[in-house]
């Protein structure tokens, strides 16, 4: 069941998008698409069906906080878990992400185990795994 | 060449100091007059930050390179081991195929290859993870470039506004430097407002009930 879940990986750095997608694949989540900023991510989320969003914060055009806010105020998207994976390590940013409805927060650099643990924890909590 | 051109007399050390002092005073007054003194103070505050950011880049790229080389060394050692074992088992099978199977050489080899493959896969994952330096250093470089561009822009503005009247051209509108998000932590130990590892993130979220 978990292998059919579809992920959207949002990051302005293609290197990081590849790393996250490869790690998800190694963890058994092979279905993933990617977006380079919040604007493209929103377009893809509205045009297709996804089960999970992994998003950076510091991005051009629309950052991760803005993307999170857009997702949470959209009736068709607000159920989506959004895991923030970011270099933003200020406590106020972590608190803000939690208050805005992020399902989890990972600071870069991170390990494969951390990403796998957070994704599995969120999916279990939401009854998707 | 004009015959009334005379070489300038050499300035004494005292005169040079006096002129430098006058120039410094002029620059100071100009900056104050243009309301740029506060900005210069900001730049002065940001330059050490730029220095620590550049050190962070050097440190992170160095660590990534070392990590990759170490992982490649270990993966190659596993690869060499598999290659040597393949040759050894191949020779045993050619010599006596039945004995090679019966004595467990072939089965041991298969187990050995499986274990080595897992280790090589783990090394490849680590090599992939080491590439995250591109994202982290890229963000830091962008901040340093922004700072340099801001200083350059303000200096050009200063130059245009203090130029002689006959050489004055319209100054472009200065863009305010608006700091973006904080980006990677380049010196977390001295800043209590940031987390330095994932466990601190988890503790903070747990304290908020998440």
pLDDT-wise least confident of A110-124, B24-38, B70-84:
B24-38
This model of the complex carries an ipTM of: 0.76
Type and span of the H or E element at B127: helix B105-130
State the sign of the Cα–Cα–Cα–Cα dihedral B10, B13, B17, B20. positive
pTM above 0.95, yes or no: no
pLDDT at residue B27 tops 80: no
Superfamily of domain B50-163: Helix hairpin bin (1.10.287.500)
Q: Which residues does B contribute to its contact with A (CB < 8 Å)? A: 125, 128-129, 131-136, 138-139, 180-185, 188, 193-198, 201, 204-205, 208, 210
Could you tell me the pLDDT band of residue B37, with boundaries at 50, 70 and 90? low
pLDDT at residue B36 tops 70: no
Distance in Å, alpha carbon of A60 to nearest chain B alpha carbon = 10
Q: What is the pLDDT of residue A124?
A: 94
Burial pattern B53-73, b for ≥16 Cβ within 10 A else e, equals beebbeebeeebeebbeebee
Q: Nearest Cβ partner of B195 from A16, A91, A110?
A: A91
For the record, the structure tokens of B159 come out as 């130059």
Strands (E), chain A: 7-10, 32-35, 52-55, 82-86, 104-107
Q: Nearest Cβ partner of A19 from B129, B183, B210?
A: B129
Q: Domains of chain A by range and CATH?
A: 2-123 (3.40.50.2300)
Average pLDDT, chain B: 80
Residue of A nearest to B129 (CA): A19
Other Cβ atoms within 10 Å of B97 Cβ, number: 11
Could you tell me which residue, B124 or B208, shows the higher pLDDT? B124
Q: Nearest Cβ partner of B194 from A16, A89, A106?
A: A89
pLDDT-wise least confident of A114-123, B14-23, B60-69, B71-80:
B14-23
CB A108 within 8 A of CB A86: yes
Distance in Å, alpha carbon of B136 to nearest chain A alpha carbon = 7
Q: Give the distance, in angstroms, between the CA of residue A11 and the centroid of all CA atoms in the same chain.
A: 9
* Interface touch A87/B183, C-beta < 8 Å: yes
Could you tell me which residue, B66 or B3, shows the higher pLDDT? B66
Q: Could you state, in order of their start, the residue ranges of all structural domains in chain B? A: 50-163
């Amino acid at each position: 069941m978990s292998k059919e879940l579809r992920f959207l990986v949002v990051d302005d750095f293609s290197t990081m998008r590849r790393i996250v997608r490869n790690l998800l694949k190694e963890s058994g989540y092979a279905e993933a698409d990617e977006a380079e900023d919040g604007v493209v991510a929103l377009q893809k989320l509205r045009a297709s069906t996804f089960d999970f969003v992994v998003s950076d914060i510091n991005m051009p055009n629309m950052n991760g906080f803005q993307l999170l806010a857009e997702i949470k105020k959209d009736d068709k998207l607000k159920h989506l878990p959004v895991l923030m994976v970011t270099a933003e390590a200020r406590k106020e940013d972590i608190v803000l992400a939690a208050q805005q409805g992020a399902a989890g927060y990972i600071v870069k650099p991170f390990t494969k185990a951390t990403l796998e643990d957070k994704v599995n924890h969120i999916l279990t909590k939401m009854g998707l795994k | 060449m004009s015959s009334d051109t005379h070489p300038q007399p050499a300035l004494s050390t005292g005169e040079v100091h006096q002129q430098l002092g006058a120039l410094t005073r002029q620059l100071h007054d100009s900056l104050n007059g243009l309301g740029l003194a506060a900005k210069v103070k900001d730049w002065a505050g940001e330059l050490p930050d730029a220095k620590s950011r550049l050190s962070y880049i050097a440190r992170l790229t160095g660590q990534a390179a070392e990590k990759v080389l170490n992982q490649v060394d270990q993966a190659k050692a596993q690869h060499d081991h598999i290659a040597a074992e393949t040759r050894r088992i191949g020779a045993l099978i050619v010599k006596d195929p039945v004995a090679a199977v019966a004595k467990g050489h072939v089965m041991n080899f298969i187990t050995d290859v499986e274990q080595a493959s897992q280790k090589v896969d783990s090394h490849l994952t680590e090599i992939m993870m080491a590439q995250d330096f591109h994202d982290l250093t890229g963000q830091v470089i962008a901040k340093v470039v922004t700072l340099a561009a801001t200083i350059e822009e303000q200096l050009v503005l200063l130059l245009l506004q203090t130029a002689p009247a006959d050489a004055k051209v319209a100054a472009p509108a200065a863009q305010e430097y608006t700091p973006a998000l904080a980006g990677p932590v380049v010196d977390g130990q001295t800043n209590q407002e940031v987390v330095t590892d994932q466990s601190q993130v988890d503790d903070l979220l747990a304290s908020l009930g998440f």
